Amino acid sequence: MKQADILIVEDDQNLRDAICTTLELSGFQVVQAENGQAAIARMQEYELKMVLTDVQMQPMDGMDLLRHIRQQDTQLPVVVMTAYGTIEKAVEAMRAGASDYLVKPFEADDLNQIANRFIRADGAENDADILLASDEKMQSLKQLASRVAQSDATVLLCGESGVGKEVFAQYIHQQSPRSNAPFVAINCAAIPENMLESVLFGYEKGAFTGAVAAHAGKFEQAQKGTLLLDEISEMDVALQAKLLRVLQEKEVERLGGKKTIPLDVRILATTNRNLRDEVSAGRFREDLYYRLSVFPIVIPPLRERMADIIPIARMLLKKYQGSNENIEFTPQAQQKLVSHNWPGNVRELDNVMQRAMILKQHGEINGDAIHFENMAAAESPVPETQTPDPDSVLVSDLKDREQQLILEALRAGKGSRKYAAERLGISPRTLRYKLARMRDAGIAV
C-alpha cells in the first residue's frame, strides 16, 4: 500500500488544488478526492495519517464519509471543513467523531497549524531541533524545558500569540519518557462551548442526539502520552470545574457513561493571557490556575530575542523553497528583518517568508523582497488605470469597521469583554475569537 500524509476531499477543484498546494509547500504528502465515494477508493490505495474533508458534497457527503471512516478506524484524525453559516454541521461532525474542524474561508496558516497538530512534516516529530534557540534567553529556556520534560509536572506555557508555545510543548513531549506515546493537542478557543466537554472527556452511545457510537475523548486518546490544552484561558468557567476534578482524580468519565477510566496522561497548557489577572477578574478558577502552573514557563516575544530571528527565518525559508534551491538573504534583507518589531511574532515571520519567496530575485532575497503587513498596503497603491475589485474593497472596509466597533465597545466598557459582547450583540466566545485574530494581526487590543 502506498504512503501519504493527508487525503483532501473537496468537490470544488480550485479550492482543492489550493489546499493541496499549501500543504505540499509545508512538506506534506497529499492525495485528493472530489467526494466521499472517491475518498473511500483512495483510502484503499493509501495508508494515511489524516483526512481533511468538506461536509457538503455529492453523491456522498463528508458526514457519511466520516461515519464510514469511524466504522473502519476510530483513531485516524478526520478534520471537517464547513462554511461560516453552517457551524451546526461542525458541531454534528465533532459529535460523530471528527477530530477538529475548519471554518471557511480559512487562512493558510490555520490550515498548516491544524495539519501540524496531527502530523509533523518531514519527520519533524523525531527532530529535537524543531525548537531553535540561538538567543541566550531561549537557550536557557530550552535547557529548562529539557529538565522539566523528565518529570510528569504540569507545565503552563505563557506568551503572546505566535511566539511558539505549541512548539515548546512538542519539544517537552519529545524530550520526555513519553515521547513514543501520543501527543494530543486541543485548542480550547477553537471548539464551541457546547461541544468542548464531549471532545475532552468523550461520550457513550446515546449520550445526546447524534451520538450514534461511543467515542473516546482527548484524555483517553492521550493515554501514556501528553495532552496539550491550548489557550486554556478561553475555557468556560463551568467546564473549568469539571477539568479540575479530572486533573485531581486522574480519572475521566465519558458523557452518558457510568464508569470512570483511570488516566496516565502528562498535562501541558498554554495561554496568551495573564492568568493571574484572569483569576482576579473572575474569569478563571484560582484552584485550576495553581493546578496548571506547577511549572510555568514564559516564552519571550520575538522582538526580545533578536538572535533567533534570522535562524528561524532560514528554517521557514527552507520549508518553502524547492529541494534544488539554495536561497539566502542579502545583508540588507537581514537588517530589515532584525529591525522589525514583530507584533505577530513567529507567525508573522512565517507570512513574511512566504511573501519573500514570491518576490525573490536571482536566487536571493534582498531588502525589497521583505514586505511587512503594514507597509504592504502603504507601498502598493492601486494604479490610476486600474480599478480596484469592489468586492475585496468592501470586505476590507467591513473588516476595518468591525475592528473599530470592537475597540470602541471595549473602551466604552473600560475593558470589560462581557459589556463589549452585549453591546455588539455577539457571544463572549465570538468576541474572544475576534480579539485573538486581531492580536495575531498585530492590532493592539
Cβ burial of 47 (10 Å; 0-12, 13-18, 19+) is: exposed
Which CATH class for the 392-440 domain? mainly alpha
Decide which of 374 and 413 is more confident.
413
Between CA 93 and CA 82 the distance in angstroms is: 10
What the block records as the C-alpha cell of 317 is: 525559508
pLDDT band at 374 (very low <50, low <70, confident <90, very high): low
Yes or no: say if 269 and 226 are a contact pair by the CB < 8 Å rule. no
Tell me what pLDDT residue 398 has. 54
Q: With cut-offs at 50, 70 and 90, classify the pLDDT of residue 29.
A: confident
Reported as a single tens digit per residue, the pLDDT across 193-230 is 778 999 899 999 888 877 778 888 899 999 999 999 99
Q: In the chain, what is the greatest distance between 2 CA atoms, to the nearest angstrom?
A: 71
Least Cα distance to 194 among 182, 209, 206 occurs for 209
Asked whether the predicted pLDDT for residue 394 surpasses 60, the reply is no
Domain boundaries in the chain? 2-119, 127-183+223-300, 304-379, 392-440
CA–CA distances in Å: residue 369 to residues 293, 295, 303, 324:
42, 41, 20, 20
Summarize pLDDT for 331-373 with one digit per residue, the tens.
Answer: 999 999 999 999 999 999 998 998 898 888 888 899 999 998 7
378, pLDDT greater than 70 = no
Confidence (pTM): 0.64
pLDDT for the residue 52 = 95
Contact 261, 221 (CB under 8 A): no
Read off the pLDDT of each residue in 423-439 and give the average, rounded to a whole number.
74
Cα–Cα distance, 172 to 175 (Å, whole number): 5
Stretch 296-302: mean pLDDT: 95
Between 75 and 225, residue with greater pLDDT: 225
Q: For residue 195, what pLDDT is reported?
A: 85
| Residue 8 phi, psi dihedral angles, 5° rounding | -100, 125
Of the two residues 319 and 16, the one the predictor is more confident about is 16
Q: Pairing state of beta strands 226-230 and 183-187?
A: parallel
Residue that wins the pLDDT comparison between 310 and 420:
310
**Planar angle of CA 63, 66, 68, nearest 5 degrees:** 110
pLDDT given at position 127? 42
pLDDT at position 25 is 74
What confidence score (pLDDT) does residue 94 get? 78
pLDDT at 323: 59
Q: Which pLDDT does position 159 carry in this prediction?
A: 95
pLDDT classification of 328: cutoffs 50, 70, 90: confident
Which residues sit opposite 78 in a β-bridge? 51
Name the residue among 128, 260, 267 with its Cα closest to residue 184.
267
Please give the helix or strand (H or E) that residue 237 lies within, else none. helix 237-249
Provide the pLDDT confidence category of residue 191 given band limits of 50, 70 and 90.
Answer: confident
Residue 87: band (very low, low, confident or very high) from pLDDT cuts 50, 70, 90: low
CATH of domain 127-183+223-300: 3.40.50.300
Sign of CA dihedral 408, 411, 413, 417: positive
Mean pLDDT, rounded, for 144-168: 94
Report the alpha-carbon distance of residue 275 to residue 235 in Å, rounded: 12
Average per-residue pLDDT in the chain? 84
Beta strands 295-298; 328-329: pairing state: unpaired
CA distances from 264 to 149, 155, 221, 230, 430 (A): 15, 16, 11, 19, 34
Assess whether pLDDT exceeds 70 at residue 391.
no
Pairing label, strands 215-216, 202-203: antiparallel
Architecture of domain 304-379: Orthogonal Bundle (1.10)
Closest CA to 190 of 121, 87, 276: 87
pLDDT band for position 416 (cuts 50, 70, 90): confident
Taken in order 423, 428, 431, 432, the sign of the CA dihedral is: positive
C-alpha cell at 382: 492601486
| DSSP 8-state assignment for residue 46 | E
Confidence band, pLDDT 50/70/90 cuts, at residue 117:
confident
* Secondary structure of residue 323 in the 3-state scheme: coil
Is residue 125 scored above 70 in pLDDT?
no
**What homologous superfamily does CATH list for 2-119?**
Response regulator (3.40.50.2300)
The neighbouring-strand residues paired with 150 are none
Domain 2-119 matches domain 392-440 at the CATH topology level: no
- Lowest pLDDT segment from 93-102, 244-253, 319-328: 319-328
| Angle ∠(25,350,390) on CA atoms, nearest 5 | 85
- Asked if residues 38 and 16 have their Cβ atoms less than 8 Å apart, the reply is no
